[in-house]
Amino acid sequence: MAVRIWLNLELISDHCCTRSSECRKPYSRSAETVSTGREAEPVRADVKGTQHLSGPGRAGLTGGPAAGRAAARAGAMAKLLSCVLGPRLYKIYRERDSERAPSSVPGTPTSVTNPHSSSWDTYYQPRALEKHADSILALASVFWSISYYSSPFAFFYLYRKGYLSLSKVVPFSHYAGTLLLLLAGVACLRGIGRWTNPQYRQFITILEATHRNHSAENKRQLANYNFDFRSWPVDFHWEEPSSRKESRGGPSRWGVALLRPEPLHRGTADTFLNRVKKLPCQITSYLVAHTLGRRMLYPGSVYLLQKALMPVLLQGQARLVEECHGRRAKLLACDGNEIDTMFVDRRGTAEPQGQKLVICCEGNAGFYEVGCVSTPLEAGYSVLGWNHPGFAGSTGVPFPQNEANAMDVVVQFAIHRLGFQPQDIILYAWSIGGFTATWAAMSYPDISAVILDASFDDLVPLALKVMPDSWRGLVTRTVRQHLNLNNAEQLCRYQGPVLLIRRTRDEIITTTVPEDIMSNRGNDLLLKLLQHRYPRVMAEEGLRVVRQWLEASSQLEEASIYSRWEVEEDWCLSVLRSYQAEHGPEFPWSVGEDMSADGRRQLALFLAQKHLNNFEATHCTPLPAQNFQMPWHL
């Protein structure tokens, strides 16, 4: 009886869809050919929910009327189950420009050849049953998230009130079970609503075909849908043979190599008694890092914030796909996390910078949909954006080890799937994204350049800024053991060109107030880099004059300090080039060892100006394309 009701619903929905198509022409992509494991065969939906196959597949359905009805019922039930368990469909993208040149990247979707449709038709239009059921399930998801975050306080309150006794818990479990059954019923109703929608059935058919066979045609068709990314098939695996070429500190299933804090001296740290004494502190640090600390450091990983930003993220993703011809991909990192990426290919344009790939690393509440990828895109570069673990479509949690694992598979994807050489890759990071960018620069030394915008040298001073002074020991220990973002230490192991962009009114990475520009941790990042690369130049005289230059709050003051010491740029360049020609490019350099104090001051100011640009803005102001410049190099 239930099957007959479902088949009647199918017949009515197809009849209504046919009648409505005579009055209006909704957006509908052609899915006439869906690739199978053997060959592409035409597919069309039957009014009873089955599929008619032309060609060899037709013979399997010619077993008489009884066999045909049984096959129809089985097909209808299978399709209904797929609709119940299938992902949420958000949007159907416009068809891309047919005149766009096909991509030269092998194994990636090519452009669709149909003309553009109106922007209203690009949004998926669910039926009333699916729409209302989705709203109920989304509300239940929000309540569950709130309950999860407030559960410690709720348990404490219930314990104080005596509600955790067995006589009170059993009825509560009955209520919870009833609620779960009701939500399961709502999910089934949503599935029926999807089943009566031809657009969703067409989408689920393409998705199932892509999971069975990752052909280029199936991926091309699937790329025109925006849906829950958990159901997107994996496009690149960290263990692919082409991605396991020699790399420094090759990854394993435990993760890539990170720089660890230096242990204490033997005899004080390795004794059993000291380990027992430190055990309560280590447990406390672990709990703080995995509860409050991680969410404070990466607020973008909080589900409620992502839920509130969902409409904005969908709009940003649509802009990247429809206007910039971006291609989305799922990468599987060595720790099992799935990384959401977006690639915009500009190699087919006339602009020379399109041959360069900029890998963008977002901030602690940034997403590639609305993040810093817009700056290199406006400048004409090819761009690869990705989301931190636990952000939007990426899975996992954003701890340093997971961040480095994600960055590793992103770089491998850029090299071995997108076809860019390391010499053509530029790392661009904003704020906390400097950690993954400096890790990649340290691990892939052939990368062309690194640009760090509004970044910092070390997390400890910034963490101490927002926590009580009485927590200093706990905060320092927690950061060093679990959240050690040591950007300066990693950057000093990179030999290539570096550019730092300092926000003069930055309110996030300053340790006092935004007006105190000397408390900006970008200053410390510059000083540590220069002291590592040019230790003789950055001796007492050079360090003092660079600090004076960093105190300047305007371009006029900078120019005044620069001219006061009569910096001769031609002389500085000749000194540096002569040293490079004689001793090679490897840092650190001993240039300035036999130089006068005035000469060291001139070189120090010259190098500081070449490695740092000021941008008069706050921390979250988007960087204009004209300020996106390549780093200086000899």
Q: Is 259 exposed, middle or buried (0-12, 13-18, 19+ CB in 10 A)?
A: middle
Measured between alpha carbons, how far is 145 from 141 in angstroms, rounded to an integer? 6
Measured between alpha carbons, how far is 316 from 385 in angstroms, rounded to an integer? 12
Measured between alpha carbons, how far is 148 from 609 in angstroms, rounded to an integer? 50
Q: In sequence order, what DSSP letters do the residues of 572-600 get, joined into one string?
A: HHHHHHHHHHHH-SPSSP-TTTT--HHHH
Measured between alpha carbons, how far is 87 from 260 in angstroms, rounded to an integer? 40
Q: In sequence order, what DSSP letters do the residues of 130-143 get, joined into one string?
A: HHHHHHHHHHHHHH
Structure tokens belonging to residue 164: 């955790």
- Give the three-state DSSP class for 213: coil
CA angle 552, 609, 550 (to 5 degrees): 25
Distances from the Cα of 553 to the Cα of 84, 549, 550, 608, angstroms: 60, 9, 8, 15
Which of 323, 362, 307 is CA-nearest to residue 339?
362
Angle between helices 128-161 and 303-322 (to 10 degrees): 150
| Amino acid letter, residue 101 | A
Kindly give, in sequence order, each residue whose CB lies less than 8 Å from that of residue 236, ignoring residues fewer than 6 positions away.
243, 329, 330, 331, 332, 409, 412, 413, 417
Measured between alpha carbons, how far is 603 from 593 in angstroms, rounded to an integer? 12
Q: What are phi and psi of 237, to 5 degrees?
A: -115, 140
Buried b (16+ CB within 10 A) or exposed e, 81-102: ebbbebebbbbbbbbbeeeeee
Which of 279, 239, 413 is CA-nearest to residue 339?
413
Measured between alpha carbons, how far is 55 from 349 in angstroms, rounded to an integer? 42
- Give the three-state DSSP class for 9: helix
Q: What are phi and psi of 340, to 5 degrees?
A: -85, 125
Enzyme catalytic residues: 431, 506, 583
